[in-house]
Amino acid sequence: MSEREFQNTVVDLAAFYGWRVHHVRPGMTRSGSWLTNVQGHAGFPDLVLAHGGRQPGRRPAMLPAVIFAELKTATGRLQHGQVEWQETLTAIPGIEYYLWRPSDLETINSRLAGEHVPTTH
């Protein structure tokens, strides 16, 4: 599974379970090169997912949460900036950070469904 296919799967799961999703996509410049036009430190996670905890018809209600998710293929490695973001985000109480790979889809589904809420980050 490519990283793009994997990302689309995670975004679809998140939408199904009522998560708000943020992802910055690269765009093509006039010269034909690809660029993600953002300001800040390199290596920011691929997805930011937020859930306010309300899910009509579901009991118990999901707890509000914010997830930062870095998505990699089975063999993908974190770059230096991604490691720095991982270290920063995992130090913040209440923030969930995950490095997810296609082999984690069952766990991802469980987390996004609200069936698994971690006690630590």
pLDDT of residue 31: 86
Mean pLDDT, the chain, as a whole number?
88
Q: Domain residue spans in the chain?
A: 3-25+40-112
pLDDT of residue 61: 65
Domain 3-25+40-112 in CATH 3.40.1350.10? The answer is yes
DSSP state of 108: H
pLDDT tens by residue, 3-50? 899 999 999 999 999 999 998 866 677 888 766 667 788 999 999 999
State mean pLDDT over 89-111.
96
Cα 108 to the center of its chain, rounded Å: 10
Cα distance between residue 7 and residue 5, in whole Å: 5
Answer left, alpha or beta for residue 87, where phi above 0 means left and psi between -120 and 50 means alpha: alpha
